[in-house]
A and B are shown apart, each in its own frame.
Chain A
């Protein structure tokens, strides 16, 4: 249910807007971290990777700030119905986005270890996978800010693409490892990186469920989640 007019108490609107802005900011940082991590991986940019690891602290700080603001809003404004669902969703989403940021950090940490790696096929698939996952995160957070339940539903569908990518990369890397035992170390890293990106996509769908509930007050049905059994 989209909100019609603003609150009679304008400060309440301001507080909610600020909360959403924080989530947007966190989302932006997380997306940037994933994209940067991919770039550093492609270009073997060790310094860039180190920067990503450093910047993760910002994301952690934002999560703390979001939690603080959400708690304050509940105490002081006594939000009801849609507003209450929004605030609780913001609280949960901030935690999830922070995990996504951690995944990006994790990828960045592995870049120095792959410095000497050659160009293998999985390497070229990863950026595309990451692009879809990043798009999912972007879209789902936009859906949150705009309280768009349908956009959240659409995000759910793309997770299958990410999963398919993961399956494909997994098989390729397995074959690669079997063919060239020397490359097991690096392939293992690539495997973990792929896993992180796949987890990021899963988290985006979790966020999509939270957004759906916040916007409509109903939980997504099994069919809507489209989760494979």
Chain B
């Protein structure tokens, strides 16, 4: 008897250890991914800045302060070749090797500073400006030997600092990795997901309600159930092909637009929502239904006043899973063309756009050294975005959770 008890305890201990091992392994994988990404990507949020002393009156920057205060300010700034002037100053200050120290990012920054304070044009100022991507990479110990030398020299003069690259979040795609940002992709992702949710959620929930509550039980509904289950397992690229064939070639919807992306992803997400919805509705206890029927509620009232509210947590869980999957999808969106180089963020759902995972994919293909850390930084942004979305969804689910 004693031996049996002891064997049981041993078995329980073993099981507990196995469980801990499984969890530990999962956590280790996750930690590895996160640490890896963080190590590679955090650098993308920073940029190296160099100090430049500009004597504006004496420089070759020709800008009218009056124009800077008016509506033409941005255009004036863009056409003033600030980049060239900056590099001329850099040449003077840091030597011939630094003749390409500054890039379009610095020009943009200078332009913004001038617009906000046109009085700069009348004096001499010390400005901290972001260096070009080649030097930025060099400062992060990944650049060419020459660039690293220049950086070291500037650094020795105390004219180097690290700053936060806010542009990364608000700028769109660009050819130069120094000015590249994820904002365009973020907006594209957001718009696409919006279209997806607005289509998939109502359709999926109503389909689940109809199939579970109103549809007769016969061979046809069995067939539908099997089909939906299979749809949920179909590889996502097939949906991309479907989108290409139907939405683009047949319906001639605008290419690369969040509308089409959203439609395609909605097709993909709907089966997940239907399955989760059916399970959630099935798990509502029949006693609640009986109670509502007994009081004289019609079938529709029973479903919408009682069953759906109680099934909502389960439905939301399914939606979260579906949305998370849709957010990270790359293949189908590539097929419908959301892979173009988009320099300007989309204004509406019919404008060409790209989504964050696709943006990451495109950047990972780029040659420039600077794109490596930007890619990882974008991955971090994607992860944060997903966490945020999941967080909101879980909060919503907990709020609707009701005990019965």
Direct contact of A and B (CB under 8 A): no
**Residues of chain B having any CB pair with chain A under 8 Å:** none
**Residues of chain A having any CB pair with chain B under 8 Å:** none
